[in-house]
Amino acid sequence: MNLKTEEIQKAAAYFTAGIERLADGPLRIMEVCGTHTVAIFRAGIRQVLPDNVELVSGPGCPVCVTPNEYLDTAVAYSRRPDTVIATFGDMMKVPGTSSTLLAEKAGGADVRMVYSPLEAVQIAQDNPGKRVIFLAVGFETTAPTAAAAVLAAVAAGVKNFFLLTAHKLVPPALTALLCLPETKVDGFLLPGHVCAITGIKPFEFLAAEFGVPSVIAGFEALDILQGVYMLAKQIHTGQAQLKNQYRRIVPADGNPVARRVMEQVFTVSHASWRGFGKIPDSGLNLNERFRHFDALHALPVEVTGSQESAGCRCGEVLRGKIKPPECPHFGRSCTPENPVGSCMVSVEGSCAAWFKYGAGR
């Protein structure tokens, strides 16, 4: 934002006082995105909000919402000869039903951490005798880069590169959430980076169909405070609209180029979410033209008996039903060093954030 410290303090005081004045009853605001969850903790936002304004995390951590069946499939692939699993670091420690990719790597599997799917294409080019499977996990923010990697593989004639897709779309998950009788949300703080790709239109239904005020917000402390202020203002005046606090990054029509790349390679499909089960039209799979890059299609594998970790309440955390300290494992048998569930692994996971930063509400 390029503001001086004094200006930031003044603006923060203005928004905080405004929230206090406008929030004349209990307000439950859900930050949908894991990046917001971490930013809220890091900046101590909870501590400056009045007691009646509650921030609760939603299903916005991509690693957390990826169910165990997917992890078990990745583990099964990692046990195959001449197979390389290329993945973002977070996925390595997530417990599947009976193993993790990190444990498989320690046992000799070829599991490599990458920072971009293009690195996985390069690994495939460098190892023509091996099959390289990239774990394509993430929301609308990361799906374009996976699509671009597929196009790069086509351009380079790479035939030993595959995706194990678990890309997910945020708006259908919010529909599923709002359709649950248990859900109580007075307003949504929406993920700025997702909207930078999608534009604002896919989120208009929150106010239009469900009457829930929503604000697209950035990730600095002031962005978040202003987002909460904009929500409190709507709620106070009985309005329900979609507002864009993050205009400096989120144009109304998002990023059409990134969407075109995504649409070229993927098709919308049903997808399984931890804590929700199957949500219609909430995932992205490789379309017919690129199906030969789909690991499940090209390299069939059978995985049975997948189960969630016993006693892990990650699903309820992701639905905003409970906060992490309400899970009996939290901080006892489940810590970032020995995670029981995915929400304690990912840096964007709600349990990991509560564990690291502690004193939230």
Residues in the site for ligand SF4, rule: CB under 6 A? 312-314, 317, 324, 327, 329-330, 334, 340-341, 343-344, 351
CA angle 201, 61, 136 (to 5 degrees): 85
Of the pair 68, 83, the CB lying nearest ligand SF4 is at 68
CA gap 177, 171 in Å, rounded = 10
Q: How far is the CB of 208 from ligand SF4 (least distance, A)?
A: 33
Contact between 242 and 200 (Cβ < 8 Å) = yes
Coil, helix or strand at residue 10: helix
User: Strand order in 83-87's β-sheet?
Assistant: 110-113, 83-87, 131-138, 161-168, 277-286, 266-273
Coil, helix or strand at residue 285: strand
Q: How far is the CB of 72 from ligand SF4 (least distance, A)?
A: 17
Q: How far is the CB of 330 from ligand SF4 (least distance, A)?
A: 4
Retrieve residue 146's tokens. 């996976």
Of the pair 18, 341, the CB lying nearest ligand SF4 is at 341
Residue type, 276: F
Of the pair 123, 327, the CB lying nearest ligand SF4 is at 327
Position closest to ligand SF4 via CB:
341
Q: How far is the CB of 2 from ligand SF4 (least distance, A)?
A: 37
Of the pair 84, 345, the CB lying nearest ligand SF4 is at 345
Q: How far is the CB of 323 from ligand SF4 (least distance, A)?
A: 10
Of the pair 143, 327, the CB lying nearest ligand SF4 is at 327
The dihedral of CA 60, 61, 64, 69: what is its sign? positive
Instruction: Say how many CA atoms lie within 13 Å of 90 toward its Cβ.
Output: 22
Q: How far is the CB of 67 from ligand SF4 (least distance, A)?
A: 13
CA gap 279, 192 in Å, rounded = 23
Of the pair 55, 265, the CB lying nearest ligand SF4 is at 55
